[in-house]
Structure 1
Amino acid sequence: MSNSKLYTNFWWVYMIQCANDGPLYTGITTDVERRFVEHQAGGVKAAKFLRGKGPLTLLYRESVTDKSAALKREIAIKKLSRTQKLALIKGQH
């Protein structure tokens, strides 16, 4: 059983880095692994921002209790500077 199946009642905020220390993308989902695969595939389910910017690296994930909390956290993270985002990522490890 994947970790995503263990936390089906959670929402996740995640950050993906584009190739060569490129830009950071922040998003929300109920299944981080599935969503990351969709982004990597670059199809219609991938975020337009990430298409053609691979390889992609999943750098950060944070669980929250519901969609509302996920949206609020996503907005808060998107307001951070790149340096602050990298510090958040580093603090997770």
Structure 2
Amino acid sequence: MILPFCVYVLQSEKDLLLYHGFTTNLEQRLIDHNSKRTKSTSSRIPLKLIYCEFFITKTDALRRERYFKTSTGKKMLKLLLRDTFEKVNYPKR
């Protein structure tokens, strides 16, 4: 079964900050981000994918994306991805 809805986390290699997003086509979305076709990240390229989750329903995926943008969601990501953040030199805050 292919899960059509994706929530992803990108890290800017320029400023090391994170970007959280939602898509139905992850490959194309990454191309769009790194080709400056996404206004919110165009000044932060290059971006690399550091995390993604797939969902059956759009509602669940959008709920998860909103959660990642909360302070609790950001803390959860830091715990979940602590080894990844160490490897990619994510700044400790």
Q: Same fold (TM over 0.5)?
A: yes
Alpha-carbon distance in structure 2 between the residues aligned to 1:72 and 1:61: 14
- 2:13 pairs, out of 16, 19, 30, with 19
Runs of 4+, deviation exceeding 4 Å: none
Give the superposition deviation at 1:23: 1.3
| RMSD of aligned alpha carbons | 2.3
Deviation per residue, 1:62-92 (Å, 9 max, x gap): 0111111111000111114655323333589
**Number of residue-to-residue matches in the alignment:** 83
Residue in 2 that maps onto 1:86:
78
Is 1:42 aligned to residue 42 of structure 2? no
Give the superposition deviation at 1:20: 4.4
> Are 2:7 and 2:54, in contact at CA under 8 Å, matched by a contact in 1?
yes
Alpha-carbon distance in structure 2 between the residues aligned to 1:51 and 1:90: 26
Deviation per residue, 1:17-66 (Å, 9 max, x gap): 012452110011111111011100002xx1x2211211111101101111
> Are 2:33 and 2:45, in contact at CA under 8 Å, matched by a contact in 1?
no
TM-score scaled by structure 2?
A: 0.74
Identity %: 30
TM-score scaled by structure 1?
A: 0.74
Alpha-carbon distance in structure 2 between the residues aligned to 1:78 and 1:60: 14
Specify every segment of 5 or more residues in structure 2 that has no aligned partner in the other structure, as ranges.
85-93
